[in-house]
Structure 1
């Protein structure tokens, strides 16, 4: 019998144990994982149980006091205890000045954050530029604005903060999805911008595409019409409005996250 003991999930210790057991053609050894051991009394109970079998204990306990208790209790009952994490943490300590955090489950937290970030990035791509209205209900945040107000870069930046954001372009000739009017205000962000700056941005965009810079898309009259329409949608939806004139995406995102998290805290109270 091999007891795999951890103050977290215990996946690391079990993986190492199974790799070692495989060298003995599995040897008909039973492996029992015991996760989330954070109290001395729990450790003593497991050691007492293990004493009733021909067994060893493989463990990943990051708290030094818990490691010490396990080693002492196992030694008193002649049970071999194998520390998977402790020696490596001590060895790393000899080549770095950083103090170990000694916090259980850190690797799992890092993995979860990574996959949430990937999921948010995929979401931002899938629901970019109003491609699919279903994203509105599924999103943590929905960004509204006329063309070239920086909706897509903002959503991608938010995705790296693990926020699933969709964006909807506002065009006077196309009614916005009705779903946006059902969202809480803190989950709906409208982007406004100085008209002349928007004209300049659109003209540069047209040039980059090899199109005439004086096309209707970049004319002042068209820009003013679109911005006026956007303001009506903002007012009807009750969304928070951010002026992105001369703002970097990081600055805009900071304001968006402040609005979002404040709203989430208010709803949870």
Structure 2
């Protein structure tokens, strides 16, 4: 049975070319035992290409490459022609077509797709974190979070957590209720990563009434009474004073505005 050697050449990790080569080879050999693949990753200069071409000639290999720099693609094609080698450019034709369609020049920077993937997975991880540690479900999340939000009910803690999660921050939020002691973890964290969300009694009264009506309940429940709201806000002030965290008034702010204030604060602290 005839054997085949494929050289996978990339200026990054080489996963893309490796997967495509395996997919193509699987159409001929299901076990792939007779098709050997050798990956050459992070190829950055032309001298490496000459060495790879020399080895490929010795082993009668086909070179399959994903090189983002046009000069490197040109060089490996030249080396293959000089050595009588067959080669397949997986990336160049696609990059050229996209560049022509957009009327733009490519960055020609290796590894950008991996950066995009890593950024995507960080966002997904942050979103899952926000769901898991929403509404004080598990106080252990307070210690793991990048940002911790505290406030009374209906101060937009959950939507704010999700908004910040889409910016790749792991956020835990904790509701404050007079009858329930706050988790001890709130007093163990760095106060700078905690933000208290305060709101005016009248605005909160209106929000809670609307919430009750939406649930099909009467709007005169204790939950929406001004006295009850003031009691909760007094409790909130005691807790955030003990934590020593920054307090943001969300009374007349959209979630995006509050999030931008928090992000500005976090960014400035890391400068």
Matched, 1:146 2:141: no
Matched with 2:129 is 123
Q: Which runs of 5+ in 1 are unaligned?
A: none
Matched with 2:17 is 13
CA 1:48–1:123 in structure 2 vs 1: closer, same or farther (change >3 Å)? same
* CA distance in structure 2 between the partners assigned to 1:44 and 1:232 by the alignment: 71
Matched with 2:235 is 229
Structural RMSD (CA)? 1.7
SS at match of 2:178: coil
**Alignment deviations for residues 125-176 of structure 1 (CA, whole Å, 9 cap, x no partner):** 1111101112111222111001111000100111111211111001111111
SS at match of 1:69: helix
* CA distance in structure 1 between the partners assigned to 2:180 and 2:263 by the alignment: 28
Quote the offset at 1:109 in angstroms.
Answer: 2.2
TM-score, normalised by the number of residues in structure 2: 0.91
Residue 75 (structure 2) aligned to one of 60, 63, 69? 69
Matched with 2:100 is 94
TM-score, normalised by the number of residues in structure 1: 0.92
Quote the offset at 1:209 in angstroms.
Answer: 1.6
* CA distance in structure 2 between the partners assigned to 1:53 and 1:15 by the alignment: 21
Quote the offset at 1:92 in angstroms.
Answer: 2.4
Matched with 2:195 is 189
* CA distance in structure 1 between the partners assigned to 2:37 and 2:99 by the alignment: 31
Matched with 2:27 is 23
Matched with 2:162 is 156
Quote the offset at 1:96 in angstroms.
Answer: 2.5
* CA distance in structure 2 between the partners assigned to 1:147 and 1:87 by the alignment: 56
* CA distance in structure 1 between the partners assigned to 2:223 and 2:172 by the alignment: 23
SS at match of 1:144: strand
Matched, 1:171 2:177: yes
